[in-house]
Chain A
Amino acid sequence: MFLNQFLLLAAALFCIGVYGVLARRNGVLVLMSIELILNSVNINLVAFGAYHGDVSGQVFALFIIGVAAAEVGVGLAIVLLIYRNRRSIDVAEANLLKG
């Protein structure tokens, strides 16, 4: 069965993405890492869809692509604003959520 390969690829991509989100301090790179995570999910969906002979997985993947585009747009806007205010896009410095 060829499903496992896809799942392994997705898991790898996911791990890279998670690593990127957690380890990177550059906001843009964090966003890119989030894209990786999302794409790993897309791969999973398409793989499961093909495996079950069902198109709904692909439809979901399309939705996620759309949402990801919007998300990255918003995310980049936030990064831009943070840069404007702080002259830096280092996410470690953005600790406004501190309680």
Chain B
Amino acid sequence: MTSNERKGLTRRALLARSVAAGTLTVIGAGFIAAPNAAWALEVSVISEHEMATLLQMARDIYPHDRIADRFYAVAVKGYDAEDKKAMVAEGVAALDAAAKAAGHADYVSVGWEEDRVKLLQGMEDSAFFQTVRGGLVTGLYNQKEVWPLFGYEGESFSKGGYINRGFDDINWL
């Protein structure tokens, strides 16, 4: 039984809201996935809702529209762990409470990024927010697979450096 069910939230309601938010889908016990099924993430310790919230939060903290959800999923999957469970539960509950106070069902169902960002700004100094944000700095940007999306070429020694590969090829000055 997930913590959401314990709180009286049904998986059906969760599913409906996630779909309504247009980003993530709870596809079964312990899974959430992209609507286009490009990736799926299994959770075993925290709830699907909590993981869906972390994913949305990650996108809102470091939004890159050309970077797919699956990279953010990699960055936050480590929170599905016993030693993170309490922090996540408390943090997501606080975020959802703030969303409710602003007239929304919960954080992930807030439609506009700028409205979600306002909720995050309200908890910017919390340990939960700072832990998630700090973890993303390496969790997201140190994935070699995202580097090409920024144009960054990474390791170059094995290719002989750039001495014959454009270290001075700028042509618009």
A binds B: no
Q: Which residues of B contact A (CB under 8 A)?
A: none
Binding site for B on A (CB under 8 A): none
